[in-house]
Structure 1
Amino acid sequence: MKNSLCASASEDGSVKLWDLRDSNVAIHTMEPYKNEVCARPEYGKWLGCVTLDSGDDWLVCGGGPRLSMWHLRSLTATTIFDTPRACQQCVTFYQESVISAGSEPFVNHWFVNGDQKAQVPCTPTSVFSVEINPNSDNHKVLCVGGNSSQIDVCLNFGYKAFSLSFEMD
């Protein structure tokens, strides 16, 4: 059964995989900060984001440790994304790529081999949410939110089309 897994990331640096058919006990625990290539001790071991692909074969996580892709059958890191300064706070799979953002005013588009496809400037200086409209194949919209009173809207994922402003009275 596909989509039977759930992943959780934690401030203690662990990723737990849960079988949705029996969620009483985590079936696997991974600790990316212990992987030498992922570790960035100057940022700590906390994890701020995690996502699974639609087939339950791949997982991407990041935060203090570098953003990394893991093969779930072997529980090994296969790709380390070059995020030298930014701690990633949100991540999602999109088609044959990975989209992430974090403590810099950019949304990063990555090839699954770790090469950066694009870095799109955005309004928030720290991004907490990147969401894609799943309801339309013809009208995909990427929305970016963070520490700003604006939500950026990208009609073409390569640039910000406009921003929605929310101001308090």
Structure 2
Amino acid sequence: MLNKMLYNTVLSQTLSPCGKYLVAGNIYGDLAVFDLDRILNPVLELLSVEYNKPKHIHSIDSKKQICSLVSTEKFLIIGTVNEICGWDWKAVVSVKLSKPVWSIKIPSQTFLDYNDVNCMWLSQDSEKLYAGCGDNNVYVFNLEDGSLISTYKGHNNFIHSIHGKNQQIISAGEDGLVMLWDTRSGKSHNKLEPHTNNKVSRPDIGKWIGSAALGDDWIVCGGGPRLSLWHLRSLDAVTVFDIPDNGIHVSFFHDDCVFAGGTSKHFYQMSYSGEVRVELPVSATTIYSAVLRTKYSTLLSLAGSSPEIDLCTSLNYKDQVLHFR
């Protein structure tokens, strides 16, 4: 029988609030819990061939892929199909996972049987959860009682990416739109269509946008169109990054640099002007998830179309490979 874990694809990751655990979710509904202390600070006398494998693998639902993960101080929040669930962190890191503490059904207004919660973003105070879904909508939930606060409508295909900063939300999707929303009014006040710009358009790959992120004065986005930096106020394309990729799925700002990856042999760290500062070789043929920790100590984890997850304790090189199997 085919060993499904050899063909594993990791769609999502997050870190525990204490910084001691990395959690990864895959297409088979499995949740892997890695003990970072054991992996990064091994006791030589107790070291075994299993040290870089999960401490636990929990099966959430074999019929539902784990599309997205975020964390609060109390809960690991899992976005699957048609549903968002919250598990107590104590249960997540234990041997046996109990039932979720709470769940929220996605109020789909279509006849889709499967409405993936493709991406989630938490407000800074962890009181509101923004979910980008397969029915083209962004839903805003109150985490205190699970109530639906608002629905952002404007995309005409499913949503790949959501991020927030300074009372703004940015969403991007399969329709090629990058939309800016005001969190106070719940209204869209601007949008980009990168595929219409000749400098970034790549018709052979498509118009979809796999990732978009907000900085103080900038937007970075990419997908079918080339990864590019846009000025937030003028919405002009300032930099087009010259990196070899066949689609971007991850992008974010950190320490005056742009980090990005996707269908490529490397994960990139670049200056705003386009200079490539770091090329990290990756195990997966496509990166779907990247998490960066700067609290406690620096940690970058990269995962995608592989059972291997690359762990970097320096942003300049890969120094550990974890095995989700």
Q: TM-score under structure 1 normalisation?
A: 0.91
Separation in 2, partners of 1:22, 1:134: 32
Q: Which structure 1 residue ranges, 5 or more long, are not aligned?
A: none
Q: Considering only aligned residues, what root-mean-square deviation do their CA atoms show, in Å? A: 1.2
Alignment partner of 1:20 out of 180, 183, 186: 183
* Aligned residue-pair number: 161
Corresponding position of 2:204 = 42
Separation in 1, partners of 2:199, 2:183: 31
Sequence identity, in percent? 38
The answer on 1:123 being equivalent to 2:283 is: yes
Tell me if structure 2 keeps the 8 A contact 1:105–1:127: no
Tell me if structure 1 keeps the 8 A contact 2:170–2:180: yes
Matched AA of 1:26: S
Map residues 86-165 of structure 1 onto 2, 5 A cutoff. 86-136=246-296, 139-165=297-323
SS of the aligned residue for 2:191 comes to strand
Separation in 2, partners of 1:67, 1:85: 9
Corresponding position of 1:8 = 171
SS of the aligned residue for 1:157 comes to coil
Matched AA of 1:96: D
Q: TM-score under structure 2 normalisation?
A: 0.48
Map residues 47-58 of structure 1 onto 2, 5 A cutoff. 47-53=209-215, 55=216, 57-58=217-218
CA 85–76 in structure 1, closer or farther in 2 if over 3 Å, else same: same
Matched AA of 2:278: A
- How far apart are residue 85 of structure 1 and its match? 3.7
Matched AA of 2:284: P
| Structure with the larger helix share | 2
Tell me if structure 1 keeps the 8 A contact 2:244–2:264: no
Matched AA of 1:165: H
Q: Which structure 2 residue ranges, 5 or more long, are not aligned?
A: 1-164
